[in-house]
Each structure stands twice: as structure tokens, then as C-alpha cells.
Amino acid sequence: MKDFVPGKEVTVHQVGSLVFSPLICFEVLDDEVVREAISVSTVGVIQTNNATFGRSPQSAQQFQISRVRAYEYRIPVLVAATTGKTAMISSDGEVLESLADFESGHLVVDVSPSQPNPPPIRTNHLLAASSLLVFGSLLWKTGRRRLEHIRDRVLGRITA
């Protein structure tokens, strides 16, 4: 992160055998940003200053999204939070080690690097587009029949 200005490239860090492009809290919501960062990483790293969430459920929601990302990409994820949950999440989304919300401390965990296994995004888009086409054609056909029925009723009244 540089001066809170969007970058033009993914920044990659290496610590021993671990390679990662860190994400900040709100980025875990953006599929494209996550896909770019995870594609060059052997471990997910998410850092968050979620103090503004206070004791609201937002911090827990953000943490659950991090668990989903670990499962989605089949990669271990480390979460470092100022007031929320700091944790080590396995590649199947299981919380292996954690500190509770508002608990000061640190975790020492063994992390095995892994290759991310991105979900089949293009297939999902193809499925969605196909579904929309089928739904649209059904609507068009139903609407056309309805218009024909209304036209026939109107014409039948005029000729009667």
C-alpha cells in the first residue's frame, strides 16, 4: 500500500517459503481484487483496522468472508486485526488458531504454502448468462402469447 492511492500492479511479498499479496479489510469483498492477490500467493494475508466496527456484527461478518475466501481458493489465510479476530484459517475454512475480539496478543503458527485453486469463475458467468437468456426467452414467449390473446379478445368484441 502506498499513500492510499490505488496501485497499478499487485505487490508481492516473500517471507521464507511464503509468497503473498496482502489484502486489506474491505478488499476481501471484491472478487477481482481477491482473485488478483491470491493468484500470486501461496498463503492469503488479510490485515484490518476494524476498530470503527466497535462491537457491531461487522467485524464478525468480515471475518466470515475471510473464511469463505480461504475455502473458495483452497489456500490458508492469516488475518491480522486491530480489534476483531486475529486468526489462522485453514484452506478448508476452519479456524485453527485465533485471538478473541478486543484481545491483545499474537499468534505463532506453522503455515504450509499451497497453490491457490481458484473457483471456475468463467463457468459461473457462462451459467448466469445462459440462465438469463432462457429466462428472457420465456418472458418474451409468455408476453407474446398474452398480447395475442388480448388482441384476439379485442378484435372479437369489435367484430361482434
Query: What cell does 132 get?
Result: 438469463
Q: Are residues 81 and 144 in the same domain?
A: no
User: b/e for 125-143, b at 16 or more Cβ within 10 A?
Assistant: eeeeeeeeeeeeeeeeeee
pTM, two decimals, is: 0.68
Asked whether residue 140 is assigned to any structural domain, the reply reads yes
Domain limits for position 140? 120-160
Do 81 and 148 fall into the same domain? Answer: no
- 21: Cβ contacts below 8 Å, ≥ 6 apart: 10, 11, 12, 13, 36, 37, 38, 40, 41, 45
Give which of 92, 93, 111 is closest to 42, Cα–Cα. Answer: 111
Q: What is the per-residue pLDDT across 110-121, written as a single tens digit (0 to 9) for each?
A: 888 787 776 655
Question: 7-11, 14-18, 30-34, 115-119: which has the minimum mean pLDDT?
Answer: 115-119
pLDDT tens, 19-62? 889 898 888 888 888 988 998 898 999 998 888 888 888 888 98
> What does the pLDDT read at residue 55?
84
CA distance 88 to 44: 10
